[in-house]
């Protein structure tokens, strides 16, 4: 019997619990599908077949012995390749880390291993998570399983494509300005950025530490809640991590009924709709707003004026942090080391040669920009001003959440664009994150869920934002929208009909 890989992770976990199939069979089915079709998608940078099957056998042993297992035990997962995995290559899709084998596991990986979720492999991304299309990877292109000529979004395009193409029921991404949510939107999957601090960053290779968050990429809201339950919570190794206020997100999602929409105060962010959004994106968003109203939600428009300045402020704060975080790649400590072609081999000259050869254009652009905005003469005018804008954005969120319970917006201004279409135009690329960046600037949780497909058959996403530390509310409302709009986009990707040649 072939296992139906379009099922969501919770449904597959039920299959494991009922003895419909074993984790070894499920993991093998995912590995087979990856072997058959990943040459056309390019989701994976590394495939961990042997390790995944070993973990699967352990999961089967635990379930057979009647041990008290996690709900997701035995369900395979893919990891974005900026999350460190002991003994398994971790490259950030950069030449500078080629050949590096981490000596430790990220905290999220430790938790995944402890619960025996087979790790299928590491997924492609924009180099060091900088981009919105995954085209900045030093190693390969990832194609959108909905239309192979289009991008899967970024930076976490590999994880999103792996879930969309039914290679993996679960994946992890990282979101600094939208890299979980935007790829989710354009691949018809669910992507959640938890409240800043709710999931440990230990072992996530830093991009901009004050905004980076690891989070779930899945096919349903309940799967994302279950995965955050597993990876979230306080971690001694991350000084910014905190215990979640609300535990058992999955239980809370399950206990939510569509009647709970009645009286829910939903705010449409004025600055994140209208001009700049593709007509199909706006149409689908309006339709969802109508569904919410039909179920009795009180919908209003909320003004967040500082959001108009989120992008420029992000492109000052993020590169500043990037320039500091990436200083560790010096040709001495990790991966690549390039010696100067001629002249003396000094530390500075090895560093220069290594970085010159090891970093791609976009990474260099951001390091230079960050170094400039932090330089003595400029820091107040640029970095300081951007930090003030950040406070204004936080104030906008605070005021908004006095008026409404949650905020909604389209996740991304357009559906998936063509490969190569924006690669040479950084400004056009940056604008993909206009709706996702405000959450990172303030630390609030955000989730993107599928919101139908446009007339080209490309998925659209809708975003739900909740107050900080109210991830449970975010998941509950997202699952209500999922149910009320009766959207099954995540199971509809044409990849389901691919045949082996
Ligand atoms: N696309 C955004 C950027 O390039 C977000 C990246 C991310 O969230 N990692 O900065």
Instruction: Determine the distance separating the centroid of ligand 1 and the alpha carbon of 54, expressed in angstroms.
Output: 34
- Pocket perturbation via mutation, ligand 1, pick of 132, 370, 432 by most ligand atoms within 8 A of CB: 132
| Cβ pair 94, 138 in contact under 8 A | yes
Helices (H), 326-384: 347-358, 361-373
End-to-end Cα separation, the chain, in angstroms: 21
Q: Ligand 1, closest atom to CA 208?
A: 9
The DSSP H or E segment spanning 338 is: none
Tell the residue nearest (CA) to atom 10 of ligand 1. 130
Q: How far apart are CA 448 and CA 222, in angstroms?
A: 13
- Which ligand 1 atom sits nearest the alpha carbon of residue 174? 9
**Ligand 1 centre and the CA of 315: distance in Å?**
10
Question: What is the spatial order of strands in the sheet that 170-175 belongs to?
Answer: 44-47, 119-123, 77-80, 170-175, 213-218, 190-193, 446-453, 459-465, 406-410, 265-269, 298-302
Structural domains of the chain sorted by starting position, each given as residue range(s) with its CATH number in brackets: 9-259+473-497 (3.90.1300.10)
Residue with CA at minimum distance from ligand 1 atom 4: 131
Q: List per-residue pLDDT tens for the chain, 501 residues long.
A: 599 999 999 999 999 999 999 999 999 999 999 999 999 999 999 999 999 999 999 999 999 999 999 999 999 999 999 999 999 999 999 999 998 999 999 999 999 999 999 999 999 999 999 999 999 999 999 999 999 999 999 999 999 999 999 999 999 999 999 999 999 999 999 999 999 999 999 999 999 999 999 999 999 999 999 999 999 999 999 999 999 888 899 999 999 999 999 999 999 999 999 889 999 999 999 999 999 999 999 999 999 999 999 999 999 999 999 999 999 999 888 889 999 999 999 999 999 999 999 999 999 999 999 999 999 999 999 999 999 999 999 999 999 999 999 999 999 999 999 999 998 888 888 999 999 999 999 999 999 999 999 999 999 999 999 999 999 999 999 999 999 998 889 888 999 999 987
Query: Is 155 considered catalytic here?
Result: yes
Q: Give the ligand 1 atom nearest the CA of 179.
A: 8
- The per-residue pLDDT for 229 is 98
Atom of ligand 1 minimally distant from the CA of 440: 8
Rounded CA-CA distance 154/131 in Å is 6
Residues having CB closer than 6 A to ligand 1 are: 129-132, 155, 174-179, 207, 318, 433
| Confidence (pLDDT) at 36 | 98
pTM, entire model: 0.98
Q: Which of 80, 95, 193, 422 is catalytic?
A: 80
pLDDT value at residue 463: 98
Q: How far is the CA of 56 from the centre of ligand 1 (A)?
A: 33
The single residue of 94, 132, 155, 442 carrying the catalytic annotation is: 155
CA of 9 to the centre of ligand 1 (A): 27
**Rounded CA gap, 231 and 176, in Å?**
18
Q: What is the pLDDT of residue 1?
A: 54
Helix (H, G, I), strand (E, B) or coil at 462: strand
Asked whether the beta carbons of 203 and 105 are under 8 A apart, the reply is: yes
382 CA to centre of ligand 1 in angstroms: 20
Q: Is 80 a catalytic residue?
A: yes
Q: Give the 3-state secondary structure of 144-170.
A: ECCECCECCCCCCHHHHHHHHCCCCCE
């Amino acid at each position: 019997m072939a296992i139906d890989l379009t099922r969501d992770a919770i449904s597959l976990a039920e299959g494991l619990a009922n003895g419909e199939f074993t984790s070894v069979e499920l993991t093998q089915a995912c590995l087979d599908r990856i072997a058959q079709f990943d040459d056309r998608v390019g989701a994976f940078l590394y495939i961990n077949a042997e390790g995944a099957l070993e973990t699967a056998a352990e999961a089967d042993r635990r379930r057979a012995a009647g041990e008290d297992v996690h709900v997701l035990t035995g369900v395979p997962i893919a990891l974005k390749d900026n999350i460190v995995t002991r003994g398994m290559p971790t490259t950030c899709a950069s030449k500078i880390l080629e050949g590096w084998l981490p000596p430790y596991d990220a905290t999220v990986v430790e938790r995944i291993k402890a619960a025996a979720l087979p790790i299928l492999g590491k997924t492609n991304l924009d180099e060091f998570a900088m981009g919105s299309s995954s085209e900045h990877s030093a190693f390969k292109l990832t194609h959108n399983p909905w239309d192979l000529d289009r991008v899967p979004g970024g930076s976490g395009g590999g994880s999103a494509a792996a879930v969309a193409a039914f290679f993996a029921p679960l994946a992890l991404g990282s979101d600094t300005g939208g890299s979980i949510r935007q790829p989710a939107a354009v691949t018809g999957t669910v992507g959640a950025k938890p409240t800043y601090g709710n999931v440990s960053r230990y072992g996530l290779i830093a991009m901009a530490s004050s905004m980076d968050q690891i989070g779930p990429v899945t096919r349903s809201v309940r799967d994302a809640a279950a995965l955050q339950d597993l990876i979230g919570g306080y971690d001694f190794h991350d000084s910014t991590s905190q215990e979640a206020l609300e535990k058992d997100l999955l239980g809370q999602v399950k206990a939510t009924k569509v009647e709970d929409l009645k009286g829910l105060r939903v705010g449409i962010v004025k600055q994140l709709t209208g001009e700049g959004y593709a007509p199909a994106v706006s149409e689908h968003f309006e339709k969802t707003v109508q569904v919410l109203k039909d179920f009795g939600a009180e919908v209003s428009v909320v003004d967040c004026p500082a959001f108009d300045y989120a992008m420029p402020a992000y492109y000052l704060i993020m590169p500043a942090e990037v320039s500091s975080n990436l200083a560790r790649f010096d040709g001495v400590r990790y991966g690549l080391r390039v010696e100067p072609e001629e002249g003396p081999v000094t530390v500075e000259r090895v560093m220069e040669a290594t970085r010159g050869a090891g970093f791609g254009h976009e990474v260099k652009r951001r390091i230079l920009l960050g170094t400039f905005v932090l330089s003595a003469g400029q820091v107040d005018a640029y970095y300081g001003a951007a930090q003030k804008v950040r406070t204004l954005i936080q104030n906008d969120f605070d005021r908004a959440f006095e008026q409404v319970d949650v905020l909604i917006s389209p996740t991304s201004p357009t559906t998936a664009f063509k490969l190569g279409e924006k690669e040479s135009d950084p400004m056009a690329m940056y604008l993909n994150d206009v709706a996702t960046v405000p959450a990172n600037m303030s630390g609030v949780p955000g989730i993107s869920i599928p919101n139908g497909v446009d007339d080209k058959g490309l998925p659209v996403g809708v975003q739900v934002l909740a107050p900080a530390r109210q991830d449970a509310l975010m998941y509950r409302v997202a699952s209500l929208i999922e149910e009320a709009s009766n959207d099954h986009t995540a199971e509809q990707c044409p990849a389901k009909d691919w045949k082996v040649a």
